Amino acid sequence: ANDSTTAEEKAAAIEAIVSMWDSADRSQLHYLCKSDRAGLRRLGCEVMVYCADRDNVDLLLPLLNDTHPEVKISALVALGHLQVK
């Protein structure tokens, strides 16, 4: 598989998983955002956007300095969607 297909498949999988969440509590978001796996950290960002969760945005801030570029982008996008200033 080529890299663009893999990225598209990852994005589709994340979108499908996020659509199953009605809400997330802080412990679940903490687990996702602090995970060793970049995909789970990205999922944490997406869940916050999907749930319009502005109460836990502090969990996104460390992800702005994540070593994985896709996680950084997801955190920035999430902060933008949540209109955090």
Q: What does the alpha-carbon distance between residue 72 and residue 58 come to, in Å, rounded to a whole number?
A: 14
Tokens of residue 79, six digits: 């902060």
pLDDT of 5 reads 59
**pLDDT band, very low/low/confident/very high, at 2 (cuts 50, 70, 90):** low
- Arithmetic mean of pLDDT, 51-76: 94
pLDDT of 8 reads 75
Q: Is the pLDDT of residue 35 over 90?
A: yes
pLDDT of 24 reads 77
Sequence-distant (6+) residues with CB within 8 A of 15 are 46
Tokens of residue 37, six digits: 């796996």
